[in-house]
Amino acid sequence: MRILSGIQPSGALHLGNYFGMMRPALELQETGEALYFIANYHSMTSLFDAKERRKNTLDVALDFLACGLDPKRTVFFRQSDVPEVTELAWLLTTLTPMAMLENCHSYKDKLARGLAPNHGIFAYPVLMAADILIYDSNIVPVGKDQKQHVEVTRDIAIKFNNTYGETFVIPEPQIREEVAVVPGTDGQKMSKSYGNTIEIFAEEKAIRKKIMGIVMDSRTPQEPKPDAENNLAVQLLKLVAPEETAKDFENRLCAGGLGYGDLKKALFEYYWNYFAAARQKRAELAANLDYVNQVLAAGAAKARALAQKVLKRARQASGLE
Ligand code: ADP
Ligand code: TRP
């Protein structure tokens, strides 16, 4: 069983990334052969600052290792250290209908927001398909917003197999329904592009301010709140506090007598403790960048060897060799 996922180095990682993608991916390390990478080629579609890309890439590496990626079990690397993936993207793009890409939410969202997307944004799912197919991946753990891209990958792989003969393994997305979409501080999907994130690793003061700043309605603490289940702070608390504790806060909010300020304070405390060990580990790693770079180099060498085999298979099947 081969498991593969990637994450873009486009900014500090947040609770949506953690609960939607990283934690499921980290749990899957135990069950199969996992490959996780930092999608720096993909970040080029929306980030145009070289220094920032370099810094974000290192940050994502530190974040992942601090959160429990085990480099002895899992192959961890930078996407661009396996340049073969861009060649495979070309082989795939020639079999990808325009209409399929025009139909992708990520592209349509950009259009709807009045942006003029570059060709990289349009072709993004094809490079993602190459990422997945080049490692013969079976399972792709991602958040719900990436499901369509994995479906596109399946369609392209099937088309390639039908056109040139059995070449690719057909992958399956794996999505945790219970945390399919983590809400941000404004109630929309938590996303770097909406400025509503709670970062996994940030200064205490900044996060405290963000959490205490979550806007609530004007009902008094005494008033019962029968809709407590939908309260944003309760939803986030369910991710970082033990189940009974979160339920207890929900019940108290529902019954009346718990103020929003106290609820948000509790959310901050549980959040802060939840990542305490990882925060410590991250500080240690940041003081030992040679080790981090070694992990990425060793990961790249392993990933590249796998990728070269699959690319050769695809080149032979399609008559390039
Ligand atoms: P962002 O929207 O902040 O730019 P990315 O698109 O880089 O995040 O997402 C990286 C991974 O994290 C993907 O697998 C994505 O599905 C997951 N993810 C991002 N935001 C959320 C969220 N709010 N809830 C659940 N999963 C998320
Ligand atoms: N598109 C993914 C995201 O924004 C990142 C990504 C690139 C990816 N290639 C991938 C995820 C391959 C899974 C598999 O989150």
Task: Give the Å distance between the CA of 14 and the centre of ligand 1.
Answer: 8
Write down the mean pLDDT value for the chain: 95
Which residues, including other chains, have CB under 8 Å from residue 167's CB and lie 6 or more apart?
160, 161, 313, 314, 317
Residue 11 scores a pLDDT above 90: no
- Which tokens hold the place of 43? 């970040």
Read off the pLDDT of residues 266-295 as tens digits, 9 standing for 90 and up: 999 999 999 999 999 999 999 999 999 999
User: What is the pLDDT, as a whole number, of residue 179?
Assistant: 73
Strands (E) in the chain, as ranges, are: 2-7, 33-38, 75-78, 139-141, 172-174
d(CA 194, CA 187): 11
d(CA 270, CA 272): 5
The domain defined by 2-181+288-317 folds into Rossmann fold (3.40.50)
Going 271 to 277 to 278 to 284, the CA torsion angle's sign is: positive
Assign domain 202-274 to a CATH class.
Answer: mainly alpha
- Considering only CA atoms, which of 132, 22, 118, 51 is closest in space to residue 85? 132
What are the two backbone dihedrals, phi and then psi, of residue 3, each rounded to the nearest 5 degrees?
-115, 135
d(CA 234, CA 230): 7
- Which tokens hold the place of 200? 């996994």
d(CA 15, CA 17): 5
The more confidently predicted of residues 313 and 192 is 313
C-alpha angle 107-112-113 in degrees, rounded to nearest 5: 100
Mean pLDDT of 198-205: 95
Cβ-based burial of 130 (10 A; exposed 0-12, middle 13-18, buried ≥19): buried
User: What is the pLDDT, as a whole number, of residue 81?
Assistant: 98
Every domain of the chain and the residues it spans? 2-181+288-317, 202-274
Read off the pLDDT of residues 236-274 as tens digits, 9 standing for 90 and up: 999 999 999 999 999 999 999 999 999 999 999 999 999
Go through the chain and tell me how many residues it has. 321
- Considering only CA atoms, which of 222, 221, 241, 224 is closest in space to residue 233? 241
d(CA 191, CA 299): 28
3-state percent breakdown (helix, strand, coil) of the chain, nearest 5 = 60, 10, 30
Residue 180 scores a pLDDT above 80: no
Which member of 159, 192, 210, 247 is catalytic?
A: 192
The residue whose CB lies within 8 Å of the most ligand 1 atoms, and thus the one to mutate among 21, 59, 179, is 21
Cβ(145)–Cβ(105) under 8 Å? yes
Cβ–ligand 2 distance for 303 under 6 Å, the answer no
Instruction: Give residue 115's identity as a one-letter amino acid code.
Output: L
pLDDT band at 205, cuts 50/70/90? very high
Cβ(135)–Cβ(302) under 8 Å? no
Has 238 been annotated as catalytic?
A: no
Task: Give the Å distance between the CA of 262 and the centre of ligand 2.
Answer: 38
